[in-house]
């Protein structure tokens, strides 16, 4: 047997094969490891670039936020002085931007642009509702645009970033056509209100004057009526007692300083307790074809929430709305007639007056005044008698207008003011037989042709008179200027003087010395003056011959961002 040979066993062959395979695999694994490193490097590089880009994007984002803050503050600062003109507003905006760290670069790297104009949801387009040119309209908004070049640290060249802000401030005026109550006696106001309201009031003139000087915010009326917007308040239907109750509730919640607040509330409560008989309902807002308490001339109704009205003015206007178009009512009771003890005075409301609340200036589309108060159209019938003398008179005062021309709000309320213009209404005067007999409100005013008998002896007319004359309407020139706190202003010559002149010049004397007649007529002429026709008519909101504007308030708008 040959010598023993060493043959590999089966397990040894397996180990050898495995070892050979491992030697074959090692180069492939190394290649795979090198590929993994490249992928990881690319991934980390992408993340790094994204992170650096995020830094650039974040820097731009925060730069834009900073610019927006600067634009907002500059717009708010500038619009506060916009009623003084665009130059003043632009200067205020630019100064504010500088104070907040924005420096204009002459090379164009940082710029600020200021545009003055109007913010108006009715006439300007969405979404900004701002127009930088609005001829004939008062400025109420300021738009500020700031730009700055922001360098990219990693992503490339500089980028220009801009921010725009629009701020609005609406100055609201409120006024009516009325009279300074000091020209009247308390009895005249009592007599007029008792006739209009069906009450039996006996309040003092001081109480009425205090109520006339009290102020009610539109916002407080909204709260009292339980509505959330000014538009809803305008659409609210009330009668005179309901309006008086709303005003009493509003006065009880007011934040307006009023030293006589408790007295004013007591006066209004007394009027309510007097048993107001009017039940005709009307909207608080004056609408086309429907008489309301006040007209609102603003681009955004909500801007009027801080405007104020007078409760006495509102009460008288409401009473006239309730009586418009009805037969004449007797207001003789309460008048100090002096020598004319047997005289009668009746009044007929043809068209009621309207209070006005709103912005100044004209509408650029229609050229109509934005805020306009209409005077009342009233007929007055008088039968004046003293001793054996008697004069029948009728007067029709046509509607006039008053409008808010401009407002000027400054940093001080004491130096702020509003300017109100107007047109006195035409007044027709008639002295004739049957002139004191009321006509229907729907009929056109006419003067009978038969002369009035002023004096007769033994049944024979010896003094007659016939006059049919008109007082032309005249513009208020110059317009009236009022402080922000309001007040009264008058213009023109009253009806009373024209009536006296018409009577004196139209006398026809038959066989009697003219001087004797003139002497006999003196008590009658003095009686006409004693009635104080002009203040009485103005209390009703009439402006014929003379115009008296009751400026209620100027509310300088708080600036707010609108876009």
Q: Could you read off the pLDDT of 429-455 as tens digits, one per residue?
A: 888 888 888 988 888 888 998 988 887
Position 120 in a domain: yes
- Say if CB 482 and CB 417 are below 8 A apart: yes
Mean pLDDT of 239-262: 91
Residue whose C-alpha is closest to residue 337's, from 527, 190, 497: 527
Containing domain of residue 359, as a range? Answer: 172-561
Cα–Cα distance between 452 and 392 in angstroms, integer?
A: 7
Position 318 in a domain: yes
Whether the per-residue pLDDT at 402 is higher than 60: the answer is yes
Q: Say whether both 278 and 395 belong to one domain.
A: yes
303 Cβ contact list (under 8 Å, min separation 6): 168, 170, 172, 557
- Which secondary structure element, helix H or strand E, spans residue 230, and what is its range? helix 230-235
As a whole-number percent, the residues of the chain with pLDDT over 70 amount to 77
Task: State the pLDDT at residue 12.
Answer: 60
Mean pLDDT of 206-210: 90
Mean pLDDT of 322-350: 80
Whether the per-residue pLDDT at 314 is higher than 90: the answer is yes
- Say if CB 166 and CB 117 are below 8 A apart: no
Cα–Cα distance between 171 and 169 in angstroms, integer?
A: 7
Q: Say whether both 138 and 220 belong to one domain.
A: no
Task: State the pLDDT at residue 507.
Answer: 64
- Say if CB 67 and CB 163 are below 8 A apart: yes
Kindly report, residue by residue over 78-132, the tens digit of the pLDDT. 998 888 788 889 999 999 999 998 988 878 888 999 999 988 887 788 888 998 8
Cα–Cα distance between 470 and 125 in angstroms, integer?
A: 47
Going by pLDDT thresholds of 50, 70 and 90, the confidence category of residue 423 is confident
Kindly report, residue by residue over 486-507, the tens digit of the pLDDT. 888 877 666 666 666 766 666 6
Q: Say whether both 207 and 152 belong to one domain.
A: no
Position 14 in a domain: no
Structural domain ending residue among the three candidates 114, 146, 168: 168
Instruction: Kindly report the average pLDDT of the chain as a whole number.
Output: 81
Structural domain ending residue among the three candidates 168, 198, 215: 168
Task: State the pLDDT at residue 48.
Answer: 63
Task: State the pLDDT at residue 68.
Answer: 93
Task: State the pLDDT at residue 396.
Answer: 86
Q: Say whether both 222 and 304 belong to one domain.
A: yes
Whether the per-residue pLDDT at 257 is higher than 90: the answer is no
Alpha-carbon distances of 199 from 241, 277, 364, 554, rounded to whole Å: 11, 7, 46, 33
Mean pLDDT of 270-297: 88
Provide the token pair at 256.
Answer: 């307006």
Whether the per-residue pLDDT at 354 is higher than 50: the answer is yes
Q: What is the CA radius of gyration of the chain?
A: 40
Least confident window among 56-70, 84-98, 332-346: 332-346
Q: Say whether both 66 and 187 belong to one domain.
A: no
Task: State the pLDDT at residue 185.
Answer: 61
Cα–Cα distance between 396 and 377 in angstroms, integer?
A: 7
Position 5 in a domain: no
Going by pLDDT thresholds of 50, 70 and 90, the confidence category of residue 187 is confident
Mean pLDDT of 123-147: 84
Task: State the pLDDT at residue 535.
Answer: 67
Q: Say whether both 406 and 500 belong to one domain.
A: yes
Task: State the pLDDT at residue 120.
Answer: 84
Q: Say whether both 47 and 135 belong to one domain.
A: yes
Classified as helix, coil or strand, 30 is helix
Q: Say whether both 177 and 159 belong to one domain.
A: no
- Say if CB 517 and CB 463 are below 8 A apart: yes
Position 2 in a domain: no
Residue whose C-alpha is closest to residue 402's, from 476, 352, 472, 470: 476
Task: State the pLDDT at residue 358.
Answer: 92
Q: Say whether both 130 and 242 belong to one domain.
A: no
Mean pLDDT of 163-183: 83
Structural domain ending residue among the three candidates 123, 149, 168: 168
Going by pLDDT thresholds of 50, 70 and 90, the confidence category of residue 227 is very high
Q: Is 530 exposed, middle or buried (0-12, 13-18, 19+ CB in 10 A)?
A: middle
Whether the per-residue pLDDT at 255 is higher than 80: the answer is yes
Q: Say whether both 73 and 152 belong to one domain.
A: yes
Position 273 in a domain: yes
Q: Say whether both 80 and 178 belong to one domain.
A: no
Position 3 in a domain: no
Residue with tokens 């709103």: 358
- Give 330-333 contacts, CB < 8 A, sequence gap 24+: 330/195, 331/191, 331/192, 331/195, 331/536, 332/191, 333/191, 333/194, 333/195
Q: Is the peptide bond before 8 cis (omega within 30 degrees of 0)?
A: no
Task: State the pLDDT at residue 494.
Answer: 62
Count: domains in the chain: 2
Counting runs of H as helices and runs of E as strands, what totals does the chain give? 12, 27
pTM beyond cutoff 0.85:
no
Going by pLDDT thresholds of 50, 70 and 90, the confidence category of residue 1 is very low
Q: Say whether both 86 and 214 belong to one domain.
A: no
Cα–Cα distance between 415 and 199 in angstroms, integer?
A: 42
Q: Is the peptide bond before 481 cis (omega within 30 degrees of 0)?
A: no
Torsion of CA 464, 469, 471, 473, to 10 degrees: 160
79 Cβ contact list (under 8 Å, min separation 6): 89, 140, 141, 142, 167, 168, 169, 559
Task: State the pLDDT at residue 410.
Answer: 79
């Amino acid at each position: 047997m040959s010598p023993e040979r060493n043959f590999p066993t089966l397990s040894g062959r397996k180990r050898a094969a495995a070892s050979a395979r491992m030697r074959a695999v090692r180069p492939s694994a190394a290649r795979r490891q090198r590929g993994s490193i490249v992928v990881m490097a690319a991934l980390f590089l992408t993340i790094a670039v994204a992170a650096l880009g995020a830094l650039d994007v974040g820097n731009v984002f925060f730069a834009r936020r900073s610019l927006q803050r600067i634009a907002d503050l500059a717009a708010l600062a500038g619009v506060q002085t916009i009623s003084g003109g665009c130059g003043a507003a632009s200067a205020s905006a630019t100064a504010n931007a500088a104070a907040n760290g924005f420096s204009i670069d002459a090379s164009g790297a940082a710029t600020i642009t200021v545009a003055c104009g109007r913010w108006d949801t009715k006439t300007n387009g969405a979404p900004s509702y701002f127009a930088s040119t609005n001829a004939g309209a008062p400025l109420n908004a300021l738009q500020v645009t700031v730009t700055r070049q922001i360098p990219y640290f990693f992503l490339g060249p500089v980028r220009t970033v801009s921010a725009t802000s629009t701020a609005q401030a609406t100055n609201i005026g409120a006024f009516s056509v009325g009279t300074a109550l000091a020209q009247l006696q308390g009895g005249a106001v009592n007599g007029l209100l008792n006739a209009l309201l069906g009450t039996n009031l006996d309040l003092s003139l001081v109480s009425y004057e205090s109520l006339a000087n009290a102020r009610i915010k539109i916002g407080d009326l909204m709260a009292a009526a339980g509505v959330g917007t000014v538009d809803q308040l305008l659409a609210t239907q009330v009668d005179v007692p309901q309006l008086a109750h709303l005003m009493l509730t509003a006065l009880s919640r007011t934040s307006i300083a009023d030293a006589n607040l408790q007295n004013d509330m007591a006066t209004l409560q007394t009027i309510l307790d007097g048993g107001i008989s009017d039940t005709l309902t009307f909207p608080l807002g004056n609408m086309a074809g429907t008489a309301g308490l006040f007209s609102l001339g603003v681009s955004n109704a909500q801007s009027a929430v801080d405007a104020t009205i007078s409760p006495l003015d509102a009460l008288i206007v409401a009473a006239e709305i309730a009586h418009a178009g009805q037969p004449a009512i007797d207001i003789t009771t309460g008048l100090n007639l002096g020598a004319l003890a047997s005289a009668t005075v009746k009044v007929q409301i043809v068209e009621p007056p309207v209070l006005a609340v709103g912005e100044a200036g004209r509408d650029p589309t229609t050229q109509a005044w934005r805020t306009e108060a209409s005077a009342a159209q009233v007929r007055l019938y008088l039968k004046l008698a003293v001793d054996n003398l008697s004069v029948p008179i009728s007067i029709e005062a046509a509607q006039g207008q008053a409008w808010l021309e401009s407002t000027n709000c400054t940093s001080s309320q004491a130096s702020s003011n509003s300017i109100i213009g107007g047109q006195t209404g035409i007044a027709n005067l008639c002295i004739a037989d049957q002139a004191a007999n009321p006509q229907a409100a729907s009929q056109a005013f006419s003067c009978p042709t038969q002369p009035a008998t002023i004096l007769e002896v033994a049944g024979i007319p010896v003094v007659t008179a016939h006059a049919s004359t008109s007082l032309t309407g005249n513009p208020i020139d110059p317009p009236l200027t009022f402080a922000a706190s309001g007040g009264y202003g008058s213009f023109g010559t009253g009806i009373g003087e024209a009536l006296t002149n018409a009577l004196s010049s139209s006398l026809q004397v038959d066989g009697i010395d003219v001087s004797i007649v003139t002497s006999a007529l003196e008590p009658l002429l003095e009686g006409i003056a004693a009635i104080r026709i002009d203040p009485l008519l103005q209390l009703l909101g009439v402006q014929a011959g003379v115009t008296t504007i009751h400026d209620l308030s100027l509310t300088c708008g708080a600036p707010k961002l609108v876009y």
